[in-house]
Amino acid sequence: MKKADKKERMALIIEELKKIYPEAVCALEFEGEPWKLLVMGRLTAQCTDARVNIVCRELFARFPTCESLAAASYEEIENIIRPCGLYRTKAKSIKDACVMLLEEYGGVLPCDMDELLKLPGVGRKIANLLLGDIYHMPAIVADTHMIRICGRFGMYPEKLKDPHKVEITMSELVEPDEQSDLCHRIVQFGRDVCSARSPKCAECPIAHLCEKGRKNGYV
């Protein structure tokens, strides 16, 4: 497909996803607090959002403020977040990020990609999540759902797995004011219909707009 055709196709897909998921909701229960989303975003590496939500209920009950988490020992954090995996690395980056947020940014989350990337443990995926959900800025979160599903849609080759390339490609195909909400709807859609191993193509309400669905005869 030409780029113009892909943009048109994505616009149609977005409208269909809006019908299926009227509310574009972040799966992480961060209660509107930027520092909590920063912490939870870091914990999602190789861990499900559902598990992160469970673990963070205990973490935030024990350390209810950014200041208290920054003052915690690595070991205290490790003991709570252990179920999320990579707990030593994550504990260090979480504490260090909270310390840096307080000392260098006055506790206010930066609204700039370059500044966010200076925070320990923050890559482009987390930075885009923060920019989109906290500051409502155009942002494509190139997580596993986005990479898999938009490849199936035909927006780029399915074999493309580079998050940065996916982010750039999708940011060119999706209108800025639709980007952040699309990411949340894609996550929901990926869990409900377009899973990694067993996509429900025969039941998919947008198979007619999907390149993989069309090739498999679901039109």
pLDDT of res. 22: 96
Does residue 204 have a pLDDT over 70? yes
Asked which of 112, 135, 158 is the last residue of a domain, the reply is 135
How far is Cα 54 from Cα 14, in angstroms, rounded to an integer? 30
Are both 126 and 155 inside the same structural domain?
no
Distance from chain centroid for Cα 51: 15
Is residue 28 classed exposed, middle or buried when 0-12, 13-18 and 19+ CB atoms within 10 A define those classes? buried
DSSP of 137-167, one letter per residue? -------HHHHHHHHHHTSS-TT---HHHHH
Model confidence at 214, in pLDDT bands (50, 70, 90)? Answer: confident
Are both 116 and 170 inside the same structural domain?
no
pLDDT of res. 213: 87
Does residue 219 have a pLDDT over 70? no
pTM of the model: 0.94
Cα distances (angstroms) measured from residue 203 to each of 31, 112, 213: 34, 41, 11
Are both 191 and 122 inside the same structural domain?
no
3-class SS at 119?
coil
Asked which of 103, 135, 167 is the last residue of a domain, the reply is 135
Are both 14 and 54 inside the same structural domain?
no
CATH number at residue 205: 1.10.1670.10
Asked which of 78, 103, 135 is the last residue of a domain, the reply is 135
Does residue 92 have a pLDDT over 80? yes
Are both 16 and 107 inside the same structural domain?
no
Contact 87, 81 (CB under 8 A): yes
Are both 75 and 56 inside the same structural domain?
yes
The stretch 2-14 carries a mean pLDDT of 97
Residue range(s) defining the domain that contains residue 204: 3-25+140-215
CATH number at residue 123: 1.10.340.30
Cα distances (angstroms) measured from residue 10 to each of 26, 174, 177: 21, 7, 14
Model confidence at 75, in pLDDT bands (50, 70, 90)? Answer: very high
Q: What percent of the chain has pLDDT over 90?
A: 96
